[in-house]
Amino acid sequence: MDPLNNPFSPGAGNQPPELAGRGELLRQVEILLARVKAGRAEQSLLMVGLRGVGKTVLLNRVREMAEARGYQAVLIEAHENKPLPLLLIPALRQTLFALDRMASVSQKVKRGLRVLRSFIGNVKFKLGEAEFGLDIEPEKGTADSGDLETDLAELFVAVAEAAADRASAVAIIVDELQYLSETEMSALIMAIHRVAQRGLPLVLIGAGLPQLVGLAGQSKSYAERLFTFPEIGPLSAEDSARALQEPAASQGVSYTPEALAEVYRVTQGYPYFLQEWGYQSWNLAPQPPIDLQVIRQTTQRSMQRLDQGFFRVRFDRLTPREKVYLRALAELGPGPQRSGDVAEQLGVKVQSIAPLRSSLIRKGMIYSPAHGDTAFTVPLFDEFMRRTMPEAPGPRAGKKP
């Protein structure tokens, strides 16, 4: 069929033609935004899910919802190697400028800018970073102690007070939260805690891989009271079908029930894969309806594309030892595996591979669903590892018999 009309959109962060199965969560977000804007304390939302389940897409939607409610919303993405302040400063500067432009002079907004200026002064001093350009006198003694926990809390309070003064609210939306350091996470939690205690209209909504929950818990014991961690999982069979059918129907095309069942079976309802299968099946089908035979062809082509793209880019970021570790994990099958079993598979002691495991968790390749367990953060990655490294590592690997 004509690729020009193909409604599907595989790709990180691409808005899907049909955002299936997330209605309940979005209703929760609506309520949260309304309550925070009204000055009512509410738990922040930190969405947790594996790669490609649709976290970024949800955060984009959250930003739109917040803006529609009169929020100043900023969306930032945490990085492995970029300190949190460097991400927050431009975002909050933009927020304060927008608040500043809203009406006549507000002392609270001016103060917010001065507090940001003193926060920047300290960061710049410490990191030797480029000028952030804020031509204003700093608010001496506020947000400039050099202790991120104290300073970020003071900055958030000042920004939230500025928003309150404008009868507005601030949404700080952070993607890839698992990449924050423990200190940064701790400071973020403390800052949100302060803002919530004062009933100020600033909310944090974030998303990350499952290691995020542990990171928050380690950083501050009261994190559980401040945050809820809704799980963003694969879609049900029904929602998976909807994710394909609705966009196709908008172009007058349908899927046979057998085709839909087969897509669900091979993709397990993971949104990224659903878009990929939708996209390829559309291009492969000679005419509607899209049937089982087309899906079988699609599976071949899509798997190949994933192996060269979605899976491959992650594989290429691994060191040779990390690859061997993951290959051993894959050998044990999908789902969580005991660390002891991985070590045994490799023929080494558990302690000797503990650092390797930690670095893979930091890289976001694996996570620990329960103490001592290890699982992939990328759906179907175990199958990919077995395809791409056919030979399983083991006590005898590399040694000739």
Per-position x/- string for 220-259, each x denoting binding to ligand ATP as judged by CB under 6 A, each - no binding: -----------------------x----------------
Please state the length of the chain: 401
- 178 binding Mg ion? (CB under 5 A): no
Residue 75 in contact with residue 173, Cβ under 8 Å?
yes
R_g (Cα) of the chain, nearest Å: 24
Check if the beta carbon of residue 203 is closer than 8 Å to that of residue 170. yes
Contact 243, 271 (CB under 8 A): yes
Q: Is 11 in the site for ligand ATP (CB under 6 A)?
A: yes
Sites for ligand ATP among residues 267-326 (CB under 6 A): 271-272, 274-275
Tokens representing residue 395 in the block: 């006590």
Among 1, 19, 143, 180, binds ligand ATP (CB under 6 A): 19
* Pick 277 or 325: Cβ nearer ligand ATP: 277
Closer by beta carbon to ligand ATP, 119 or else 367? 367
Buried b vs exposed e over 293-310: b needs ≥16 C-beta within 10 Å? ebbeebbeebbebbeeeb
Nearest approach, Cβ of residue 227 and ligand ATP (Å)? 18
Count of residues engaged in binding ligand ATP, rule: CB under 6 A: 25
281 binds, among ligand ATP, Mg ion, none (CB under 5 to 8 A by kind): none
Q: Which residues pair with 203 in a beta bridge?
A: 171
123 touches, from ligand ATP, Mg ion, none (C-beta below 5 to 8 Å by class): none
| SS3 at position 173 | strand
> Considering only CA atoms, which of 262, 242, 251 is closest in space to residue 287?
251
* Residue 385: alpha-carbon gap to chain centroid: 23
Residue 300: partners with Cβ closer than 8 Å, 6 or more residues away: none
6 binds, among ligand ATP, Mg ion, none (CB under 5 to 8 A by kind): none
**What 3-state class would DSSP assign to 294?**
helix
Q: How many residues bind Mg ion (CB under 5 A)?
A: 2
- Exactly one of 6, 56, 186, 245 binds Mg ion (CB under 5 A); which one? 56
Q: Which one of Mg ion, ligand ATP, none is in contact with 274 (Cβ closer than 5 to 8 A by kind)? A: ligand ATP
Contact pattern for ligand ATP over residues 101 through 130, marking x by CB under 6 A:
------------------------------
| DSSP calls for 6-62 | -----STTPPPSS-TT-HHHHHHHHHHHHHHHTT----EEEEE--TTSSHHHHHHHH
Instruction: Candidates 53-61, 266-274, 293-301, 368-376: pick the segment binding Mg ion (CB under 5 A).
Output: 53-61
Q: Looking at beta carbons only, is 60 or 359 nearer to Mg ion?
A: 60
161 binds, among Mg ion, ligand ATP, none (CB under 5 to 8 A by kind): none
Q: Give the containing element (helix H, strand E) for 178.
A: none
Binding pattern for the stretch 50-69 against ligand ATP, x by CB under 6 A and - elsewhere? -xxxxxxx------------
Q: Say which entry of ligand ATP, Mg ion, none residue 395 contacts (CB below 5 to 8 A, set by partner kind).
A: none
Taking CB under 5 A as the rule, which mask of x and - marks residues 230-269 in contact with Mg ion? ----------------------------------------
CA distance 4 to 217: 48
The stretch near ligand ATP (CB under 6 A) out of 11-19, 166-174, 283-291, 382-390 is: 11-19
User: Rounded CA gap, 226 and 237, in Å?
Assistant: 33
Helices 84-101, 182-197: crossing angle, 10 deg rounding: 30
Residue (18 or 175) nearer to Mg ion, CB? 175
CB contact set of 317 (below 8 Å; sequence gap of 6+): 363
What residue ranges bind Mg ion (CB under 5 A)? 55-56
What residue ranges bind ligand ATP (CB under 6 A)? 9-14, 16, 18-22, 49, 51-57, 243, 271-272, 274-275
